[in-house]
Amino acid sequence: MKKLFVLVAVASLSFATSCKQETAKTTETNVTVDSLANDSTAIVTETTTTVLSETDAKAKLDQAKVELDAAKAKGDKVATEAAQKAYDDANTAWTSAKAAVTGAAQDVKDGVNNAAEKVDEKATKAKEDIKDAAKDVAKDAKEVGAKAKQDVKEAGAKAKEGYNNTLDKLKAN
Protein backbone atom coordinates (compact mmCIF):
# COMPACT_ATOMS: atom_id res chain seq x y z
CA MET A 1 0.00 0.00 0.00
CA LYS A 2 2.87 2.34 0.87
CA LYS A 3 4.57 1.56 -2.43
CA LEU A 4 1.40 2.35 -4.34
CA PHE A 5 1.02 5.64 -2.47
CA VAL A 6 4.66 6.55 -3.13
CA LEU A 7 4.26 5.65 -6.81
CA VAL A 8 1.19 7.86 -7.14
CA ALA A 9 2.95 10.66 -5.24
CA VAL A 10 6.01 10.49 -7.49
CA ALA A 11 3.86 10.43 -10.61
CA SER A 12 1.89 13.46 -9.47
CA LEU A 13 5.14 15.12 -8.40
CA SER A 14 6.65 14.75 -11.84
CA PHE A 15 3.44 16.01 -13.43
CA ALA A 16 2.78 18.91 -11.10
CA THR A 17 6.27 20.11 -10.27
CA SER A 18 7.64 22.17 -13.02
CA CYS A 19 8.62 25.78 -13.41
CA LYS A 20 5.66 28.10 -13.78
CA GLN A 21 6.05 31.09 -15.99
CA GLU A 22 3.27 33.53 -15.27
CA THR A 23 2.19 36.24 -17.66
CA ALA A 24 -0.26 38.91 -16.69
CA LYS A 25 -2.84 40.13 -19.16
CA THR A 26 -4.99 43.16 -18.43
CA THR A 27 -8.18 43.78 -20.32
CA GLU A 28 -10.09 47.02 -20.01
CA THR A 29 -13.82 46.94 -20.69
CA ASN A 30 -16.11 49.95 -20.89
CA VAL A 31 -19.57 49.38 -19.50
CA THR A 32 -22.14 52.04 -20.38
CA VAL A 33 -25.46 52.28 -18.57
CA ASP A 34 -28.48 54.07 -20.15
CA SER A 35 -28.31 56.90 -17.70
CA LEU A 36 -26.94 60.39 -18.12
CA ALA A 37 -24.35 60.32 -15.30
CA ASN A 38 -23.56 56.61 -14.91
CA ASP A 39 -20.59 55.59 -17.03
CA SER A 40 -18.22 53.07 -15.49
CA THR A 41 -15.04 51.25 -16.46
CA ALA A 42 -14.23 47.73 -15.33
CA ILE A 43 -10.67 46.45 -15.43
CA VAL A 44 -10.33 42.70 -15.62
CA THR A 45 -6.97 41.14 -14.82
CA GLU A 46 -6.26 37.62 -16.02
CA THR A 47 -3.19 35.58 -15.12
CA THR A 48 -2.17 32.83 -17.50
CA THR A 49 0.18 30.15 -16.20
CA THR A 50 2.44 28.41 -18.66
CA VAL A 51 4.07 25.26 -17.35
CA LEU A 52 7.79 25.03 -18.13
CA SER A 53 9.59 21.86 -17.09
CA GLU A 54 13.06 21.82 -15.57
CA THR A 55 14.39 20.26 -18.77
CA ASP A 56 12.86 23.03 -20.90
CA ALA A 57 14.29 25.67 -18.58
CA LYS A 58 17.76 24.09 -18.85
CA ALA A 59 17.45 24.00 -22.66
CA LYS A 60 16.51 27.69 -22.73
CA LEU A 61 19.47 28.46 -20.45
CA ASP A 62 21.83 26.61 -22.78
CA GLN A 63 20.39 28.41 -25.81
CA ALA A 64 20.78 31.79 -24.08
CA LYS A 65 24.41 30.93 -23.24
CA VAL A 66 25.11 30.12 -26.90
CA GLU A 67 23.51 33.40 -28.00
CA LEU A 68 25.50 35.33 -25.36
CA ASP A 69 28.77 33.77 -26.54
CA ALA A 70 27.90 34.58 -30.17
CA ALA A 71 27.10 38.21 -29.30
CA LYS A 72 30.39 38.55 -27.38
CA ALA A 73 32.27 37.06 -30.33
CA LYS A 74 30.73 39.62 -32.70
CA GLY A 75 31.63 42.44 -30.32
CA ASP A 76 28.18 44.04 -30.59
CA LYS A 77 27.54 45.79 -27.25
CA VAL A 78 23.75 46.11 -27.64
CA ALA A 79 23.37 42.46 -28.68
CA THR A 80 25.66 41.40 -25.80
CA GLU A 81 23.57 43.29 -23.26
CA ALA A 82 20.32 41.83 -24.63
CA ALA A 83 21.81 38.32 -24.68
CA GLN A 84 23.13 38.79 -21.12
CA LYS A 85 19.66 39.80 -19.94
CA ALA A 86 18.11 36.79 -21.70
CA TYR A 87 20.77 34.52 -20.12
CA ASP A 88 20.10 35.96 -16.65
CA ASP A 89 16.33 35.46 -17.07
CA ALA A 90 16.82 31.87 -18.28
CA ASN A 91 19.20 31.16 -15.38
CA THR A 92 16.63 32.50 -12.90
CA ALA A 93 13.90 30.36 -14.47
CA TRP A 94 16.09 27.26 -14.34
CA THR A 95 17.06 27.89 -10.71
CA SER A 96 13.39 28.40 -9.83
CA ALA A 97 12.46 25.16 -11.59
CA LYS A 98 15.12 23.22 -9.66
CA ALA A 99 13.98 24.74 -6.38
CA ALA A 100 10.33 23.96 -7.15
CA VAL A 101 11.12 20.32 -7.92
CA THR A 102 13.22 19.96 -4.77
CA GLY A 103 10.56 21.63 -2.62
CA ALA A 104 7.76 19.53 -4.08
CA ALA A 105 9.78 16.35 -3.60
CA GLN A 106 10.34 17.23 0.04
CA ASP A 107 6.64 18.01 0.48
CA VAL A 108 5.70 14.63 -0.99
CA LYS A 109 8.25 12.87 1.22
CA ASP A 110 6.90 14.64 4.30
CA GLY A 111 3.35 13.78 3.29
CA VAL A 112 4.21 10.11 2.83
CA ASN A 113 6.00 10.00 6.20
CA ASN A 114 3.12 11.73 7.97
CA ALA A 115 0.60 9.38 6.39
CA ALA A 116 2.66 6.34 7.39
CA GLU A 117 2.95 7.61 10.97
CA LYS A 118 -0.80 8.23 11.17
CA VAL A 119 -1.54 4.76 9.82
CA ASP A 120 0.81 3.25 12.41
CA GLU A 121 -0.83 5.26 15.19
CA LYS A 122 -4.31 4.19 14.08
CA ALA A 123 -3.21 0.54 13.84
CA THR A 124 -1.75 0.67 17.35
CA LYS A 125 -4.92 2.26 18.70
CA ALA A 126 -7.08 -0.34 16.95
CA LYS A 127 -4.91 -3.12 18.38
CA GLU A 128 -5.33 -1.69 21.89
CA ASP A 129 -9.09 -1.35 21.39
CA ILE A 130 -9.31 -4.97 20.22
CA LYS A 131 -7.33 -6.15 23.28
CA ASP A 132 -9.63 -4.17 25.59
CA ALA A 133 -12.72 -5.56 23.88
CA ALA A 134 -11.34 -9.11 24.15
CA LYS A 135 -10.67 -8.61 27.87
CA ASP A 136 -14.21 -7.28 28.35
CA VAL A 137 -15.67 -10.26 26.46
CA ALA A 138 -13.62 -12.69 28.53
CA LYS A 139 -14.71 -10.99 31.76
CA ASP A 140 -18.37 -11.02 30.66
CA ALA A 141 -18.13 -14.69 29.64
CA LYS A 142 -16.62 -15.56 33.01
CA GLU A 143 -19.41 -13.73 34.83
CA VAL A 144 -22.08 -15.43 32.68
CA GLY A 145 -20.46 -18.83 33.35
CA ALA A 146 -20.38 -18.21 37.10
CA LYS A 147 -24.02 -17.13 37.08
CA ALA A 148 -25.03 -20.16 35.04
CA LYS A 149 -23.17 -22.43 37.47
CA GLN A 150 -24.95 -20.79 40.41
CA ASP A 151 -28.32 -21.13 38.67
CA VAL A 152 -27.67 -24.82 37.99
CA LYS A 153 -26.78 -25.38 41.66
CA GLU A 154 -29.94 -23.60 42.77
CA ALA A 155 -32.08 -25.56 40.30
CA GLY A 156 -30.48 -28.79 41.53
CA ALA A 157 -31.19 -27.87 45.14
CA LYS A 158 -34.81 -27.05 44.34
CA ALA A 159 -35.22 -30.30 42.41
CA LYS A 160 -33.75 -32.24 45.30
CA GLU A 161 -36.07 -30.45 47.74
CA GLY A 162 -39.07 -31.12 45.50
CA TYR A 163 -38.11 -34.82 45.23
CA ASN A 164 -37.77 -35.10 49.02
CA ASN A 165 -41.15 -33.41 49.53
CA THR A 166 -42.74 -35.85 47.09
CA LEU A 167 -41.19 -38.84 48.92
CA ASP A 168 -42.44 -37.50 52.27
CA LYS A 169 -45.95 -37.18 50.89
CA LEU A 170 -45.85 -40.71 49.50
CA LYS A 171 -44.67 -42.11 52.84
CA ALA A 172 -47.45 -40.30 54.64
CA ASN A 173 -50.11 -41.79 52.42
Query: Quick one: pLDDT at residue 37?
Result: 47
Q: CA nearest 53: which of 20, 86, 8, 24?
A: 20
On the question of pLDDT at 150 being above 90, the answer is yes
Beta-ladder partners of 44: 27
The answer to whether residue 42 scores a pLDDT higher than 50 is no
- Cα distances from 61 to residues 17, 52, 54, 79, 95, in angstroms, run 19, 12, 10, 17, 10
Q: Higher model confidence: residue 62 or residue 8?
A: 62
What percentage of residues in the chain have a pLDDT greater than 90? Answer: 15
Q: What digits encode the pLDDT tens for the residues 63-107?
A: 888 988 888 888 888 888 888 988 998 888 888 888 888 888 888
